[in-house]
Amino acid sequence: MIAKLLKRRARTGEDGSIVVEGARKATGGKGKARIVMTMAVFFGIFSTISGRLVYLGFQTPDLSGGPQSRITASRPDIVDRNGEVLATDIKTASLFAEPRRIVDADEAIEKLSTVLPEIDYEQTYHKLKSGAGFVWLQRQLTPKQQADIMQLGIPGFGFRTEKRRFYPSGETSSYIVGLTNVDNQGISGMEKYIDEQGLSDLQASGLAVAKDLKPVKLSIDLRVQHVVRDEIAAGLERYRALGAGAVVLNVKTGEVVAMASVPDFDPNNPYNAQEKDRLNRMSAGLYEMGSTFKSFTSAMALDSGKATMNSRFDASHPIRVGHQAIHDFHGKNRVLSLPEVFLYSSNIGSAREAELVGIEGHREFLHRLGILERMQTELPEVARPTEPKVWKQVNSFTIAFGHGVSTTPLQAAVGCAALMNGGYLMNPTFLVRTQQEAMAIAKKVVTEKTVEGMRYLYSLNAEKGSARNARVPGYRVGGKTGTAEKVINGRYSKDLNFNTFVAAFPMDDPQYLVFTIADAPHPEKPGMTDVAAANAGVIAGNIIRRSAAMLGVKPDFSHENGATLVSYE
């Protein structure tokens, strides 16, 4: 039957070949069908994939499975004024897990704990059993930890290269440079300031590329910074104090050349950075400054035009206001000239100066010098000063000798700098600034004559008074001490002091100012005193002695320390 059918359909071609038409037609039909089926299958596959992609595009990402796995963003180097690196990025490895690939969570944790014994078992177990696609286990491992974990061969564990911050100077400049968190974001100090200037926006947009980030140059001189930190750390131990600090200011530009506070912390291992005593006392601590404030009181009296160097103030007996009485620590019990009020640090004489100016004039002068305003500077950790809501006569009297208002040591230093640099108040800066740039934003707050008088008083006090411990041969240092009873739980302590010292040099044309503090110091040896001259003053003198040459101040031994004591008869 089949043979007859083929015979009927066959014909002879032109070349003599036999063509079976039925077979050809059958084969052609099947080929077309296969092509159509194949196209349909591929169309179905691509349609499914496209539909899935469109669906996922409209979904909200599920972040519950663990932290983001993005690479930490770059940060610019931070350098001192001479280009020495204070902070830089380094690469480090961080450990992650893919819980969906973990076979035995208990075994994985048991192995991991041999390398990371501090790991939290319960927390890690929940992460590994979460079924998520990605979870962080430990950030910023050491190279040895990474190598040891790799040798464990745990399935589902992996590493990502991240950036972390490294601080070559360690504790030396910790409060100024600040800290970053585990995601390399600034959380304190200049690190936080840099983020606030736009770096965080660059990081969020993915534009914070290391090669495009220029180093941030600070006004800090690392050499002087080391001296300051070394001296206050030694003073903390020597005087068994709760804290100590110091700042070195360029009075011509307002640049902070060095500033430190102890106790401090190592930013490379900041495990104790949040402890209660870890406070940048220089800018974030509020204190009553004691007799250092008499710098402002004497300057106020001179600048008001109501007093001169020849003015006299009755300090022969205490001043009584209601139930309160104002006494002198070592009173002369007589009428004092204005220079003698400063030299003998007379509380009574200072109160008389404030009385001469008046309550409103007193308050206005301190605000004019920025002492009672929140300081404007790059460092985020700045405290707001406090003052009485209503100034009464007794407030003006006590504030005249440094009790009744609280401010930061850095603000007090800035105010004193204005009394030394020609009368110009300029906000302190932690960035490099020229004298021309500083003068463009400076505010004239006192007259040249007032500045001349204050330079004389500082020099006089170093020659004859309480600032003698800060004298350094050849550098003509002047200054003022401040010993204030420490305020504890709202009451003045009879046993603990907060001591301050301000020094400027060279006094014929001051270039730098040093302000030091000693929080609750004790006498260095039995029988010795705990007043500011014996601790804060000594620290200031040591800082000047070790750093003056680094600051470019040339010694001059052609004449004595400073002022000639004038008789005011």
Q: Give the active site residues.
A: 291
DSSP 272: T
Q: How far apart are CA 137 and CA 95, in angstroms?
A: 6
Q: How far apart are CA 563 and CA 463, in angstroms?
A: 7
For tokens 């401090």, name the residue: 264
Question: 188 - beta bridge partners?
Answer: 179
Residue 39 buriedness (CB in 10 A; 0-12 / 13-18 / 19+): exposed
DSSP 346: -
Q: How far apart are CA 247 and CA 168, in angstroms?
A: 21
How many angstroms separate the Cα of 546 from the Cα of each of 138, 258, 510, 561? 44, 13, 17, 18
Q: How far apart are CA 391 and CA 367, in angstroms?
A: 13
129-163 burial, b if ≥16 CB within 10 A, otherwise e?
A: ebebebbbbbbbbeeeebeebeeeebeebbebebb
| 8 Å CB contact between 479 and 537 | yes
In the chain, how long is the greatest CA-to-CA distance? 153
Q: How far apart are CA 7 and CA 159, in angstroms?
A: 75
Angle CA 442–444–447, to nearest 5? 145
Q: Is 159 helix (H, G, I), strand (E, B) or coil?
A: strand
Overall size of the chain counted in residues: 569
Q: How far apart are CA 465 and CA 450, in angstroms?
A: 20
Note if the bond before 263 is cis, omega within 30 degrees. Answer: yes
Q: How far apart are CA 217 and CA 85, in angstroms?
A: 9
Angle CA 107–112–113, to nearest 5? 100
For tokens 């500077």, name the residue: 377
For tokens 């600048």, name the residue: 303
> Tokens in use for 239?
């005087």
| 8 Å CB contact between 506 and 563 | no
Q: For strand 216-217 and strand 78-79, is the pairing parallel, antiparallel, or unpaired?
A: parallel
How many angstroms separate the Cα of 449 from the Cα of each of 45, 264, 455? 91, 41, 10
**Torsional class of 194: left (φ above 0), alpha (ψ -120 to 50), beta (otherwise):** alpha
